[in-house]
Amino acid sequence: MEQPSQEQKPSYPPPQQTHMELRTAENSAIYVLPKLRSMKEANPHLTLLDVGAGSGTISVTLAKVIPDGHVTAIDVNEAILPRARAIAEMAGIKNIEFQHGDVYKLPFADASFDVTFCHQMLTHLKEPSDALREMIRVTKPGGIVAAREGDLETECVWPELSGLLKFHKFAASMMKAAGGSATGGRQLLSWALKAGVEREKITLTYAQALIDRVRAGRLREGGIKAGMVTESDLEEMATHWEEWAERKDASIAMMHGEVLIQR
């Protein structure tokens, strides 16, 4: 298979860049912080690679978490590097360097980093498993690879104005047309398995996971009575839940909204 390349990845226009610069380790990578802190206790001189760091706002906040460690932040888009360096300088962060690099051909030796990290990057790629395999290669045995990817198809908006629903479909189409995926979040586990990782070494997290079964009484009886489902539909559902439960790449999730109201 021909080696894919990130070279054609375009830079982002100013409005999107502004949105991305709101990202920090606290709001975008909180799932990795407990592990990072426990690794730091064992070894304060951790090395971390941030792949597809863009303007580096997450990289800089990760560097703050490991003040005696070192962060290497790369992006395939050379034009973003001066902006990233300026952001690190403004934040007074010294233990970081930014350089050019392609995730499919990382310019590092095997086992170079304790932590290899990416955020909202794999979902833009044609071959996310190849990228993950390369990220695993440069990670030290005993280290971790961390990835967080949006699942654009689950995006929801309220109120449901027609232009916004149209925008959602359009954005997903564009993402797919560019070779990426609009269902990255739910596929992340299957990508990691395809990259050759054993299931036992992967921790997958979502806001909430649930399994309901279709052979239970109420849903089945009510559905048939209301003409919403047939016996053969129900059999297909039950069979597929069983097949799903046996698969190593099985994942399921649903987003919740939460409100706190001050009386």
Among 6, 9, 32, 50, binds a copy of itself (CB under 8 A): 32
Residue closer to a copy of itself by CB (options 93, 135) is 135
Among 5, 24, 28, 112, binds a copy of itself (CB under 8 A): 28
Shortest approach of a copy of itself to residue 5 CB, angstroms? 19
Residue closer to a copy of itself by CB (options 46, 192) is 192
Q: Is 25 in the site for a copy of itself (CB under 8 A)?
A: no
Shortest approach of a copy of itself to residue 258 CB, angstroms? 4
Q: Is 171 in the site for a copy of itself (CB under 8 A)?
A: yes
Q: What DSSP character marks residue 13?
A: P
- ω before 159 within 30° of 0 (cis)? yes
CA dihedral 149, 151, 152, 156 (to 10 degrees): -120
Amino acid at 133: R
Q: Is 19 in the site for a copy of itself (CB under 8 A)?
A: yes
Residue 185, phi then psi, degrees to nearest 5: -55, -45
Q: Is 141 in the site for a copy of itself (CB under 8 A)?
A: yes
Q: Is 31 in the site for a copy of itself (CB under 8 A)?
A: yes
# residues near a copy of itself by CB under 8 A: 106
Q: Is 224 in the site for a copy of itself (CB under 8 A)?
A: no
> Measured between alpha carbons, how far apart are the two ends of the chain, in Å?
61
Residues linked to residue 115 through DSSP beta bridges, in sequence order: 48, 144
Shortest approach of a copy of itself to residue 92 CB, angstroms? 27
Shortest approach of a copy of itself to residue 25 CB, angstroms? 13
- Quickly list DSSP for 79-121: GGHHHHHHHHHHTT--SEEEEE-BTTB-SS-TT-EEEEEEES-
Shortest approach of a copy of itself to residue 57 CB, angstroms? 14
Task: Give CA separation, 5 vs 54, 104, 106, 125, 216, in Å.
Answer: 17, 6, 11, 9, 49
Stretch that binds a copy of itself, among 31-39, 42-50, 53-61, 92-100 (CB under 8 A): 31-39
Residue with tokens 């001050």: 262
Whether 128 contacts 181, CB under 8 Å:
yes
> Which 47-76 positions form the footprint of a copy of itself (CB under 8 A)?
none
Q: Is 109 in the site for a copy of itself (CB under 8 A)?
A: no
Q: Is 140 in the site for a copy of itself (CB under 8 A)?
A: yes
Among 2, 15, 53, 109, binds a copy of itself (CB under 8 A): 15
Among 14, 58, 62, 108, binds a copy of itself (CB under 8 A): 14
Shortest approach of a copy of itself to residue 107 CB, angstroms? 19
* Strand order through the sheet with 70-75: 96-100, 70-75, 47-51, 113-119
Shortest approach of a copy of itself to residue 159 CB, angstroms? 6
Angle between helix 217-225 and helix 231-246 axes, rounded to 10 deg: 150
Cα separation of 192 and 91, whole Å? 34
